[in-house]
């Protein structure tokens, strides 16, 4: 994992915000604006902080990632440490998209922490891959599987397998699932809409118990 991280750290500054980053950010912002009007929002795995481009100024944005960006509220942190460096009930909303499947620790550890730092009735927007969807099938057909063993310790790969059913079971330990929204991407065109069961990933709108 250390060698892979060196490559990421060396290149992160010159990596650009691609169209797919902006499309995802715009999509996430559209969800957020229907859920909260103001307050503190934590973006886990924020990349370049592009989500803030699409948020109203009434929402105070806190980006967190393991690669440094210039932002007044930025927190440099590795989520594999198993905790979040914030006090209890601090945020109104936590965004955790395309994160849990990459963890080298048990995803339950991070979900417990998200629950802890959310205010009462706070909102968590969590996306998980749909590993029984079309995207995974196409990857397998192309023999281009991006799922790796935990023992690989390789950054950027998926280390956890998620279906819609086991995702619901996992999230319901900590939250009430208010809505589920399918999203296409990967080898599937963003502009095409598929039934939720076939989507690349599912966005779960969750509320703290």
**DSSP run (H or E) holding 134:** helix 134-141
- Locate 206 and state its tokens: 């969750």
pTM of the full structure:
0.85
CATH number of 2-208: 3.40.50.150
Per-residue model confidence (pLDDT) at position 189: 55
* Domain ranges within the chain, ordered by starting residue: 2-208
Cβ pair 113, 123 in contact under 8 A: no
pLDDT, tens only, 76-96: 999 999 999 999 999 999 999
What is the Cα Rg of the chain in Å? 16
């Amino acid at each position: 994992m250390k060698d892979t991280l060196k490559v990421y750290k060396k290149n992160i500054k010159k990596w650009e915000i691609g169209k797919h980053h902006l499309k995802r950010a715009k999509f996430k912002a559209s969800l957020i604006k229907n859920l909260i009007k103001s307050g503190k929002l934590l973006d886990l795995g924020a990349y370049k902080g592009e989500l803030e481009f699409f948020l109203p100024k009434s929402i105070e944005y806190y980006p967190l990632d393991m690669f440094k960006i210039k932002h007044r509220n930025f927190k440099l942190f590795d989520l594999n440490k198993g905790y979040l460096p914030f006090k209890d009930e601090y945020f109104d909303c936590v965004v955790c998209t395309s994160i849990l499947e990459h963890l080298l620790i048990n995803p339950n550890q991070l979900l417990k922490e998200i629950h802890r730092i959310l205010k009462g009735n706070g909102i968590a927007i969590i996306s998980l891959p749909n590993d029984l969807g079309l995207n995974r099938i196409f990857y397998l057909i192309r023999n281009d599987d991006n799922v790796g063993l935990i023992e690989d310790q390789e950054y950027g790969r998926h280390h956890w397998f998620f279906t819609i059913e086991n995702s619901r079971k996992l999230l319901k330990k900590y939250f009430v699932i208010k809505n589920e929204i399918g999203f296409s991407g990967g080898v599937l065109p963003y502009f095409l809409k598929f039934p939720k069961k076939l989507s690349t990933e599912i966005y779960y709108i969750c509320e703290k118990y």
